[in-house]
């Protein structure tokens, strides 16, 4: 389901990226949507959301997330780096996890602390939706999502040591990006 209001530029962008999200690799790849990325960079928050937003930083966090989803590493990094918010740190952590730079990613996730998206990611609902739960059970211990364990598993998988977890890690990454985008979109309108 598209979290943007219908007939907005954001809704159009989300439709463009949603099908591509599941194909996003654990580490950054080649940017293929230069025109769309350029459009995201230049669009005003009012035009993106179809109305005035109450939180410009959350709106910028949405732009960072859209860039992450398009594999636009440099653009996502630039936006996240300029956001002195928990969500900016979260996107910054994802960017560095996909770089891959585990130490830097963990630094940013430590700055995030506990985030509402972690609670959603660690839920029974997410676990039930996975065909295999080997990685999930390692990441979610005592009912709490551990982003540093997720980073470690992604790094091990990319080094060929945990390649059996790749499909599950990719599914979790897709869910994480969608949930964080939805959280940021909702946060642009909250007072």
Asked if the model's pLDDT at residue 61 lies above 90, the reply is yes
Place of tokens 């179809």: 50
Q: Residue 145, SS3?
A: strand
Q: Residue 172, SS3?
A: helix
Q: Which helix (H) or strand (E) holds 49?
A: helix 45-49
The predicted-structure confidence for 138-152, as pLDDT tens digits, reads as follows 999 878 999 999 999
Break the chain into its structural domains and give their ranges. Answer: 9-187
Cis status of the peptide bond prior to 100, with omega within 30 of 0? yes
Give me the pLDDT at residue 23, please: 87
Question: In the structure, what pLDDT confidence band is assigned to residue 33 with cuts at 50, 70 and 90?
Answer: low
Query: If you average pLDDT over residues 11-15, what whole number do you get?
Result: 94
Query: If you average pLDDT over residues 158-186, what whole number do you get?
Result: 96
Query: If you average pLDDT over residues 129-135, what whole number do you get?
Result: 95
Give me the pLDDT at residue 145, please: 96
Give the per-residue SS3 of 90-144. Answer: HHHHHHHHHCCCHHHHHHHHHHHCCCHHHHHHCCHHHHHHCCCCHHHHHHEECCE
Question: In the structure, what pLDDT confidence band is assigned to residue 19 with cuts at 50, 70 and 90?
Answer: confident
Q: What is the pTM of this model?
A: 0.95
Q: Which residue has the higher pLDDT, 39 or 142?
A: 39
Backbone phi and psi for residue 151, each to the nearest 5 degrees, phi listed first: -60, -50
Asked if the model's pLDDT at residue 78 lies above 90, the reply is yes
Taking the C-alpha atoms of residue 76 and residue 26, their distance in angstroms, rounded to an integer, is 15
Give me the pLDDT at residue 35, please: 87
């Amino acid at each position: 389901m598209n979290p943007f209001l219908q007939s907005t530029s954001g809704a159009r962008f989300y439709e463009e990226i949603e099908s591509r999200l599941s194909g996003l690799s654990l580490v950054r790849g080649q940017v293929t949507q230069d025109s769309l990325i350029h459009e995201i960079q230049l669009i005003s928050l009012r035009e993106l959301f179809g109305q005035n937003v109450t939180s410009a930083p959350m709106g910028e966090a949405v732009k960072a997330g859209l860039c992450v989803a398009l594999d636009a590493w440099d653009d996502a990094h630039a936006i996240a780096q300029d956001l002195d918010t928990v969500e900016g740190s979260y996107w910054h952590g994802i960017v560095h996890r996909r770089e891959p730079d585990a130490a830097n990613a963990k630094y940013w996730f430590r700055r995030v602390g506990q985030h509402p998206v972690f609670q959603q990611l660690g839920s029974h609902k997410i676990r039930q939706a996975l065909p295999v739960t080997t990685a999930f059970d390692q990441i979610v211990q005592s009912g709490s999502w551990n982003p540093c364990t997720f980073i470690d598993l992604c790094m091990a998988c990319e080094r060929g040591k945990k390649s059996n977890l790749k499909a599950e890690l990719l599914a979790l990454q897709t869910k994480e990006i969608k949930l964080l985008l939805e959280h940021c979109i909702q946060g642009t309108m909250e007072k």
